[in-house]
Amino acid sequence: MTRRFDKRLAALAASGQPGLLRGGLRGVEKECLRVTPDGLVAQTGHPTALGSALTNRHITTDYSEALIEFITPPQRTTPDTLAFLADIHQFAWPAIGEELFWPLSMPCRLRGEQDIPIARYGRSNVARMKSVYRQGLGHRYGRYMQAIAGVHFNFSLPGDFWPAYAQLERSQAGSNDLKSAAYLDVVRNVRRMDWLLFYLFGASPAVCRCFLPQGAPGLVEFDQGSWFAPHATSLRMSDIGYKNASQDGLWISANSLEEYIADLTRAIRTPSPAFERIGVHVDGQWRQLNPNLLQIENEYYSTIRPKRSALSGERPTLALRRGGIEYLELRALDLDPFAPTGVNERELLFAELFLVYCLLQESPGIDAAEQRDIDFNHRAVARRGREPGLQLRRQGRELGMRDWAAEILRGMQGVAELLDDGSGAWLAALRDCARLLDDPEATPAARVLRELRASGRQLADFGLELAAGYRRHFLSLPGDSNQHYRMLETEALASLDRQCWIEEHDSLPFDEYLAAYYA
């Protein structure tokens, strides 16, 4: 811990406002594949009963027509967030018939790139842009990578916090500038310490052989159907998952909002020789939106993103320039295969604790040398996080992973006491995570491997058994237990009307629409 961290923590504790850090907004975006009863990626269209994937606020699709995404609205409490997410699941399960929602982050039983259908959003320009963007992702990185699923945690601090924080920091900056600078402090510290989330919540130590038919360095055969890394935590977050080598040289600074916007904008405007070879509009077919390093901002993969709600047709960078950072999107969580909704209360409480800790902790700018250490730590914990004696790098020196993690958890104790609302939930979540540090075999990744070994099942069968159990669970719930059923049903129907309205009011040719978007 740093002197500044201790000073900030003490000042907030002495403020006479015990709830200053409570009452912010949080939400969850949970992705999962629809699969057939035998575990193949579903080839059916997005169910009409779930509304329009283009315009439904709570149920949409990600890369694939089969990769569904459940989105909770901003909530004041974690229990409310989880309850809404459970209600979305209860609403959605009957709509997919005999299909299942795959409970693992890594896909199984893939039969080829074309087995992963690109999401379809209708015939409007915005729908076509979404589909062409996804075509581009497939050409650039392969469709297998795009079928990986995870949980995103959205978080913003309460409005009452910021005046107190400005006084604490003796800041004369405007409200938006203060928030943006503080949220970027969080972003940099998450980049430094996101490996802790991989260790605590990573649940993808193994992958189906179909995902990597030739294997990869560091992976060994678990059974005839899967590979694993013996001490892995999250292969999803490793170099064989989202952390694709093709973006390794892409530097997007978070040292200031101006640098972040400028670097993203430059990447969207800078041609890539490799992507130029793909072509853009070939034989009457769009292969990608453009041949640049990034087609749009969202192509840049990061474990955390600064966000602002965009206006219709507004690019994310322009939204940030207009109003500053509104909230943060933490993207480092694997699906929890042992939770019916893919995420549990301990994870969300800890994620919030972690983000507040990252705010209060010292957060200097990140230079190229530190970024190399960050990348090393990221890879090391994703691939080898449960390895005894694992060494990480901090400020050019080696440090034991467990020692560093214990230091972070000690600092989070004071944050948990600040956030505590009398329920003890924050402190309990922190204690549970401390036990995972003491016992690597209690981590979700180790539990996955232990259950696979104990049952003798292959990874695909393990996932199917879990999915079938969750199907039975949600279909057995009484209908009146879903407090949001009518609202979700109304939203699904209204979203279909909104899609029709958009399609009826489109007038520009697609190439002109794109030119206007990038102007």
pLDDT per residue of the chain (519 residues) written in tens, 0 to 9: 578 899 999 888 888 776 788 889 999 999 999 999 999 999 999 999 999 999 999 999 999 999 999 999 999 999 999 999 999 999 999 999 999 999 999 999 999 999 999 999 999 999 999 999 999 999 999 999 999 999 999 999 999 999 989 888 887 776 889 999 999 999 999 999 999 999 999 999 999 999 999 888 899 999 889 999 999 999 999 998 875 556 767 889 999 999 999 999 999 999 999 999 999 999 999 999 999 999 999 999 999 999 999 988 899 999 999 999 999 999 999 999 999 999 999 999 999 999 999 999 999 999 999 999 999 999 999 999 999 999 999 998 999 999 999 999 999 999 999 998 888 999 999 999 999 999 999 999 999 999 999 999 999 999 999 999 999 999 999 988 899 999 999 999 999 999 999 999 998 999 999 999 998
Q: Estimate the crossing angle of helix 161-169 against helix 175-193, to 10 degrees.
A: 80
- Given a contact cutoff of 8 angstroms between Cβ atoms, the answer to whether 500 and 121 are in contact is no
Question: Is 493 strand, coil or helix?
Answer: helix
CA–CA dist 365, 230 (Å, integer): 35
* Helices 459-475 and 444-455, axial angle in degrees (round to 10): 100
d(CA 306, CA 314): 16
User: Do residues 206 and 107 touch, judged by C-beta distance below 8 A?
Assistant: no
Contact of 207 with 147, CB cutoff 8 Å: no
Show the tokens assigned to 231. 């001490």
- Asked if 72 and 81 count as a contact pair (C-beta separation under 8 A), the reply is yes
pLDDT digits (tens, 9 = 90+) for 154-212: 999 999 999 989 888 887 776 889 999 999 999 999 999 999 999 999 999 999 999 99
Q: pLDDT (tens digit, 9 = 90+) per residue, 109-140?
A: 999 999 999 999 999 999 999 999 999 999 99
- Judge contact between 304 and 190, C-beta under 8 A: yes
Give the 3-state secondary structure of residue 61: strand
Q: What does pTM read for this prediction?
A: 0.96
pLDDT in tens, 429-474: 999 999 999 999 999 999 999 999 999 999 999 999 999 999 999 9
Strands (E), 133-249: 151-156, 206-208, 220-223, 226-228
Please give the class, per CATH, of domain 3-210+251-365+398-474+494-518.
alpha beta
Nearest-angstrom CA–CA distance, 472 and 477: 9
